Structure 1
Amino acid sequence: MDKKKLRQYRSLKREQKMLEDKMEKLNERAERIPAVIGKVKGSMDTFPYIETHMRIIMDEPKQADMIDRQMRVNERRREQVDKLLTEIEEFISQIPDSNTRQIFELIYLNGNTQQEVGDQLGYSKGRISQIVSENLKD
C-alpha cells in the first residue's frame, strides 16, 4: 500500500455517496419513463404457424436504453470504488500494532493531521511521520 492510495480514502467515500445518489435519481427517472404502444410480429404456437401482429406496452426505448447505460456505467464505477475502499480498510485492519493502526485510521480514514494525531496519542509529529513511513512502501 502506498500513501497516494491511502490519501484517496475520504475522496472515495464522497464519491461512493455521490454514486449512490446518482443511482437513486436514475431509478426514479426509470420509474417515470412514459409507456408507449408498439407492434411486434409473431406466429401462432401451432401449425400452420400463421403470422400474427400483437400490440404491446413498453417503456419508451430511447429513454430506457439511455438510463440503463448510465446505470451500468455508474454501477461499474461504484464497484471499483467499493473495491478500493475495501482494500484500504483491509490494509489498515491488518496492521499488527494497535498504536500504528490507530495512527493510520486517524490520519487516512478520519482525515486528522499528523500533528493532531501526535497530540492525541502523545507522539511528536516527526515520530508519527516515521511510523507512517515505516509501514508504507513509497
Structure 2
Amino acid sequence: MNREQLSKYKKNKRDIENLDGIIAKLQERLDAVPVVSGKVTKSSDDFPYIEEHVQVRVEEPKAATALKMRICEKEKRKDQLIRENEEVEKYIAAMPDGTAKDIFEMVFLDGMTQKGVGESVGYTQSMVSKVIKDILKHS
C-alpha cells in the first residue's frame, strides 16, 4: 500500500457517487428510447420447419446500443473504484489497534487534516506525518 492509493480513497468515493448519478441519468435516457417495429425470421414451431416472418417491437437499436455501452463503461469504472477503496479499507482494518490505526482511519477514510487528527490524538501535525510515513515505509 502506498500514500497515493490511500490518498485516492476520498476522491474515489466522490467519483463513485457521481458515477451513480450518471448511470441513473443514462438509464432514464435508455428507458426513453423510442420503440420501433421490426421483422425477424424464425422457424415455425411444428415440423416441417418453415421459415416465418414475425413482427417484433424493440428499442431503436443504434440509440439503445450506444447508451448501453456507456452504462457498461461507467459501471466498469465504478467497480474499479470500489475495488480500490476496498483495498484501502482492508489495509487499514488489518492494522493492529492503536493510535496509528486511528490516525490512518481519520486521515485517509474520514478525510481529516493531519493537524485535526493531531489535535484529536494529542500529537502535533509533524508527529502524525511521521507516523504515517513510518508505517508506509515498513509496509
TM-score, normalisation: structure 2: 0.92
SS in 1 for 2:54: strand
What letter matches 2:17 in structure 1? K
2:92 corresponds to 1:92: yes
SS in 2 for 1:112: coil
Q: Work out the CA distance in 1 between the residues paired with 2:31 and 2:70.
A: 15
Aligned length in residues: 138
Superposition pairs for residues 20-59 of structure 1, below 5 Å?
20-59=20-59
Counterpart of 1:83 in structure 2 is 83
Q: Work out the CA distance in 1 between the residues paired with 2:77 and 2:137.
A: 27
Counterpart of 1:4 in structure 2 is 4
Q: Deviations over 1:97-130 (max 9, x none)?
A: 3211111111112222211111121112221111
Q: Work out the CA distance in 2 between the residues paired with 1:97 and 1:79.
A: 29
Q: Structure 1 runs of 4+ off > 3 angstroms? A: none
SS in 2 for 1:8: helix
Counterpart of 1:73 in structure 2 is 73
Pick which of 8-17 and 97-106 moved more.
Answer: 97-106
Q: Deviations over 1:8-57 (max 9, x none)?
A: 01100000001111111111112111100001112222333222211111
Q: Work out the CA distance in 2 between the residues paired with 1:119 and 1:51.
A: 79
The sequence identity of aligned pairs, in percent, is: 36
SS in 1 for 2:137: coil
Q: Which runs of 5+ in 1 are unaligned?
A: none
Q: Work out the CA distance in 2 between the residues paired with 1:56 and 1:29.
A: 22
- Over 3 Å counting, the alpha-carbon distance change for 1:47 and 1:97 in structure 2 is closer
Q: Work out the CA distance in 2 between the residues paired with 1:6 and 1:28.
A: 34
What letter matches 2:91 in structure 1? F
Q: Which runs of 5+ in 2 are unaligned?
A: none
TM-score, normalisation: structure 1: 0.93
Counterpart of 1:102 in structure 2 is 102
